[in-house]
Amino acid sequence: MLGFLSARQVGLEDPVRLRRAESTRRVLGLELNKDRDVERIHGSGVNTLDIEPVEGRYMLSGGSDGVIVLYDLENSSRQPFYTCKAVCSIGRNHPDVHKYSVETVQWYPHDTGMFTSSSFDKTLKVWDTNTLQTADVFNFEETVYSHHMSPVATRHCLVAVGTRGPKVQLCDLKSGSCSHILQGHRQEILAVSWSPRYDYILATASADSRVKLWDVRRASGCLITLDQHNGEKSQAVESANTAHNGKVNGLCFTSDGLHLLTVGTDNRMRLWNSSNGENTLVNYGKVCNDSRKGLKFAVSCGCSSEFVFVPYGSTIAVYTVYSGEQITMLKGHYKNVDCCVFQSNFQELYSGSRDCNILAWVPSLSEPVPDDDEAATKTQLNPAFEDAWSSSDEEG
């Protein structure tokens, strides 16, 4: 560590290297936090979670009961044991509550004063956080599976919406109307995601086994249809121009937007180059996925080697993004996990399950030494967090 600090002092080391190394160590040590509970409000499964990107303090959850809950994740009591309390909720008695299951919730990317939700009741609702009243409601002819606002766009306020129909709908928050439609899929749209790198690039995943990348400024729209075979199979082959051999029900860009991860009901996860649509052929092994709707997974940010967190039955599988190695399985839920979200400021993970619980997974910095050891009262550092830096004396 001293050697690293000396090198940093004279400008030989990248200033973010230590932060990345520490972030990586923290992710490798994620475990169920026994000291922190998330207040249980939902009476049925938790489908979706989102943490606001401004402070990283407030979290939204949406459930199969149509209820939306807003949590404060900060430990204001400063006690070692605490519960993340629900600040407010849109419950069954609220006049504007969703009639059916809430499938997606998302904070407005630039301000905590607004958030959005979409539901099986065929609506997308825009909410005022302070009053918990709807600022706008978009109605659709089909069940809504997914929606997403761009985290980086400054020149448009479009919300991409995936429904039971094969068309992707773009809703403009400024005008309050559906601005245009993207056509090309043949079955329902199970997941949509804007690029975190480019304002106008959108990825969509469908039950037709296809994933498409769109430039929403273009008249034709579709830039690339991802092909798992990278064009090496004849167009006559049934799997040609398909991303998976089953429904594609989840997608997520890496934090830099250079790659796209997709999951399908063929129990596979694939990593794609988002600029040319190439399948990188990273092998993650079997990624169990029996969800009939959208599966919401998360990618780390700011680590030396990025990680992906994928619901895997009642557990969460953690893989390295670029090598495909499975690092661990996070076990704590007792029914299927449908969503997880990563808090990059403190390298924490939150997961929602059909068991109605939201669990917090946090880095374990130390572990107790066995009782028969002489230093039973002390703690020893988890190997994942051991000092990887050598001092200048050792180097010499």
Compare 8 and 306 and report the one with higher pLDDT. Answer: 306
Q: Give the pLDDT of residue 238.
A: 60
- For residue 344, being part of any structural domain is answered with yes
- For residue 392, being part of any structural domain is answered with no
Report, as an integer, the average pLDDT of 162-189. 92
Report, as an integer, the average pLDDT of 130-148. 95
pLDDT band per the 50, 70, 90 thresholds, residue 164 = very high
- For residue 384, being part of any structural domain is answered with no
- The string of pLDDT tens digits covering residues 52-105 is 999 999 999 999 999 999 999 998 888 888 899 999 999 999 999 999 999 999
- For residue 241, being part of any structural domain is answered with yes
Taking each helix axis from N to C end, the angle separating 17-28 and 2-9, rounded to the nearest 10 degrees, works out to 150
- For residue 77, being part of any structural domain is answered with yes
Element (H, E) at 18: helix 17-28
Q: Give the pLDDT of residue 235.
A: 60
Compare 367 and 310 and report the one with higher pLDDT. Answer: 310
Q: Which of 207, 200, 107 is nearest to 160 (CA)?
A: 200
- For residue 385, being part of any structural domain is answered with no
How many angstroms separate the Cα of 21 from the Cα of each of 18, 322, 380, 390? Answer: 5, 17, 20, 14
Q: Which of 268, 272, 271 is nearest to 287 (CA)?
A: 268
The residue range of the domain holding 199 is: 14-363
- For residue 336, being part of any structural domain is answered with yes
Mean pLDDT of the chain: 89
pLDDT band per the 50, 70, 90 thresholds, residue 239 = low
Counting residues of the chain whose pLDDT is more than 70, the rounded percentage is: 89
Which CATH number do you get for residue 34?
A: 2.130.10.10
Q: Give the pLDDT of residue 29.
A: 94
Count: domains in the chain:
1
- For residue 395, being part of any structural domain is answered with no
Q: Give the pLDDT of residue 369.
A: 46
Report, as an integer, the average pLDDT of 29-34. 92
Element (H, E) at 17: helix 17-28
